[in-house]
Amino acid sequence: MRKSLRRAVFRSVCLFLLLAACSGGKPESAGKGTAVSDVPAYGDAIVEGSIGDVSGFLTAVTTDASSHEAAGYVFNGLVRYDKNLKLEGELAESWEVSPTGRGSPSTSGKG
């Protein structure tokens, strides 16, 4: 008789645990009266994590990657490379590339 009582209790506990695991829990809500939009508001901020602190914005002086990345958001170069590794003007209207491979931005003419 004790075995049948133990089996009944064991089955009840197992059934209870199974139902509790499959319940799914309470759905999360944004709160009462608030509308959630997928479109960011004008003037929102983008927050991006970094491995280290920025030690400066002068890329000639600093050697850490986080400083170079932050300086890239603040300062623009005269030319940059596109996705096909071809030079394109970022701030320069035109430029010339010397036979040695060094570029020299200019203010007139096409390059």
d(CA 67, CA 69): 5
Sign of the alpha-carbon torsion through 82, 86, 87, 88: negative
Shortest CA distance to 104 belongs to which of 81, 78, 82, 83?
78
pTM: 0.35
Q: What are phi and psi of 41, to 5 degrees?
A: -75, 150
- The pLDDT tens digits for 53-86 are 888 888 778 888 888 888 887 888 888 888 998 8
Average pLDDT in the chain: 77
- Determine if residue 24 is left, alpha or beta; phi over 0 gives left, psi from -120 to 50 gives alpha, anything else beta: left
